[in-house]
Structure 1
Amino acid sequence: MDVARKRVNVEKVFNEGKLTGRGITVAVVDTGVYPHTDFLIPYNRLLKQVDYVGDLDAPYDDNGHGTHVAGIIGGNGISSDGKYMGIAPDVNLLSVKVLNKKGGGKTSDVLAGLQWVMDNRNKYNIRIVNISLGGDDHKGEESSIVKAVDHLWDNGIIVVTAAGNKGPRSRTITTPGISRKIITVGCSNDHETVNINGDFISNYSSRGPTRACIIKPDVVAPGANIISCASKENYKPMERLSREDSKYEAKSGTSMAAPMVSGAIALLLQSNPYLSPNEVKLKLSRCCDDLGFKKNHQGWGLINIEKLMG
C-alpha cells in the first residue's frame, strides 16, 4: 500500500489533511471483514456485517479476501505505523458477506446482499459498493447481477467492480463488470508475475470489449503484490483479540485494484457529497494518466487521485 499510494498520487491529498473519507460508507460485498485493529482503533468504523453464508451477526472473514479489500479501501494503518494505510483511512465500512471460505458463492446470495445494500443505503449512508468478485459472462446485460448493480447505480449508489483475472485475451471481462453503467477496474501493473489462486501468472487483467462492444475496463489501478490487512486464521466470531492478531499479507489481482478506486471515490464524495454516480464517472474519466495501453486494457488510464480532487 505504501508504494501503491504513491502510484495513484494520493499523498498530496493526505498531506493537506482535509480528505480522509470521513462520513462516507463503503459496502464491501465479499468474503466478510475481520475485525482488524486498522478498522477499530481509535474508533470502530466497521459498522456492521451482514452474513448470507453463515448467518452470523459478528464480523468475521474465513477467507481473507474481503478483509484485504477493506484494508485497501479504508484501513488506517495503525498496526503498521501508517505504512499500509488504505486510500480513505477514515471511511466507514459495511461488510456484506456473500462468499464462503473458499471464495465461492451463489448468485442468489449476491443478489440478496445487493438488495440489502439498496434497502439500507439511507440508514448507513452507503454511497459506494465495492464488488471484487466476478463470474463468467453467460447472459451479458441480461444477467440478474448486472441488472441488480444497474439498479443500485440508478438509485444513486456508485458501484465499483473488478474486471477479472482472465486476461490477456479480449472479451474476458467478468460479470458484473460488463455493465455499461458501473465502474470496472483493471490492473495497471499486471505485467508483474504474481500468484493468483495458486497460479503464477502475468498479463492477467481481463480485457474488453464486452459482448455488447462496450470498452472495458473503465480505469486501471495497481493490483500486483499489494500488502493490506489480513484476517486471523481460524478466527471465531466474537473471539477475544489482541493487537498482535492484526497482521498484513500480500495479494494480487483486479480484486485489489478495484478498492483503490472505491477509496478514491470516498475522498471525492467527502469533498463533494452531492455528486451523482454519472458525475463521479465523468470526473474519473478526466483524471487518469494514459499508460499507452489499448483502450480495452486500460480504459481511461491509471487513476490519478490528485487530479480527481482538482
Structure 2
Amino acid sequence: MERVRRYIHADYAYKMGLSGKNVTIAVMDTGIVPHPDLKDRIVLFRDFCQNRIGLYDDNGHGTHIAGILAGNGMQSILNKKGNYMGIAPKARLISLKVLDAKGNGSTQNMLEAVDYLLRIRERFHIRILNISVGMLPDAGKKEQLALLEAVERLWDAGIVVVAAAGNNGPKENTVTVPGISRKIVTVGSCDDTEQVTLKNGLESGYSGSGPTACCIVKPEILAPGTNIISCNKNMKGYTVKSGTSMAAPVVSGSIALLTELHPDFTPQEIKLRLYERAYPRGRQIGKKCWGIVHVENLIREGKW
C-alpha cells in the first residue's frame, strides 16, 4: 500500500488533513472480519448469502478490499512490517456480503443488496459503493440488464458506484457487468503488465478492456492493482492479491478523500473531476481510458 499511495500521489491529501472522515463507503463482496485496522469503523454488516449475524468473511476477498479502502495500517506499524494503510483510513464501512466462500454469488443476492442500500442510504449517509465483483461472461442478458439497471438506480440516488473492469483482458470488449454501465465509474489496473503471480490465473494485460457494445470508453480510470498488500481474513496480518478488484477500491478511497473535502459534490461532478484530472492521460501510456487516478490533482483547488 505504500507503493500505491505514492503512485497515486495521495500524500498531498494527508498533508491537508484529509482521511475520509465522516464518509461512508458500502462494499459488496465476500464479507468482512473485525481486523484491527478496520474494526472500529465497520458500522453495518448484512449477509445476503446465508443470513448470518455477526461479521465474517469466509473467502478473504472482501476484507482485503476493505483494507485497501479504509485500513488504518496500525497493525503493520506496531509490528514494524511497514505501513499498509488504506487510501481513506478514517472512512466508515458498510459490508454487504453477496459472495460465498468460493467467491460465487447470484444476481438475486446483488439485487437484494441494492434494494437494501437504497433503503438505508440516507440513514447511514452512504456516498460511495465499491463493487469489486463482475458477472461471468456467459451470464444471461436478462440478469445483466437487471444488475445494470440496479446500479444505475443507486447512481441516480446520489451514490457514486465504482466497479472493477474484470480480469478478462487484454482483448477488447472484456469489461464485466456491471462495469459496462454508461453511468458508473469503471476501474482497470494500470500495472497489469508487471510480473503477476499466476496462481490466481492472471496473465500480463489481465485488466478488462473496452470499448463496450455501446462503444463507450471503459474502463474510464486506472489505478494500481497488482501485488497489493492488505488485510487478511485471519485478522493476524496481511496478504497479497492482484486484479482489478484491488484497483477499484484505490479509486473509491480517492473519491472518499474528495468527498470529505467537497461533501456537496454529486456523482456526476465527481466523475467529471476524475476525467479532467487523471494523469498521466490514457494516450500518454498507450491505454484507451481517461488515465490514472491522481489524488493531488483531484483535490487541488485552482490551477493544478
If the length of structure 2 is used for normalisation, what is the TM-score?
0.93
Matches within 5 A, 1:1-310: 1-16=1-16, 18-40=17-39, 44-81=40-77, 83-136=83-136, 139=141, 143-195=145-197, 198-232=200-234, 245-289=235-279, 290=281, 292-296=284-288, 299-310=289-300
Q: Which amino acid aligns with 2:117?
A: V
Contact 1:140 / 1:178 at 8 angstroms: preserved in 2? no
Q: Which amino acid aligns with 1:107?
A: T
Give deviations 1:187-224, integer Å, cap 9, x for gaps: 00000232366325111001000011111001000000
Q: 1:117, CA displacement in angstroms?
A: 0.9
Q: Distance in 2 between matches of 1:97 and 1:142?
A: 19
Contact 2:226 / 2:243 at 8 angstroms: preserved in 1? yes
Give deviations 1:206-245, integer Å, cap 9, x for gaps: 100001111100100000000001101xxxxxxxxxxxx4
The total of aligned residue pairs comes to 292
Return 5+ residue gaps in structure 1 as ranges: 233-244
Q: Percent identity?
A: 46
Contact 1:34 / 1:67 at 8 angstroms: preserved in 2? yes
Give deviations 1:7-66, integer Å, cap 9, x for gaps: 0000121123x21001110000000011100012xxx10011100112112111000000
Q: Distance in 1 between matches of 2:117 and 2:236?
A: 27
Q: Distance in 2 between matches of 1:4 and 1:221?
A: 8
Q: Which amino acid aligns with 1:181?
A: K
Contact 2:107 / 2:143 at 8 angstroms: preserved in 1? no
Return 5+ residue gaps in structure 2 as ranges: none
Contact 1:216 / 1:295 at 8 angstroms: preserved in 2? no
Give deviations 1:79-120, integer Å, cap 9, x for gaps: 011700000000000000000000000110011111111110
Shift of the 130–146 alpha-carbon distance from structure 1 to 2, 3 Å rule, reads same
What is residue 236 of structure 1 aligned with on the other side?
none
**Greater displacement, 141-150 / 56-65:** 141-150
Contact 1:215 / 1:295 at 8 angstroms: preserved in 2? no
If the length of structure 1 is used for normalisation, what is the TM-score?
0.91
Q: Which amino acid aligns with 1:285?
A: Y
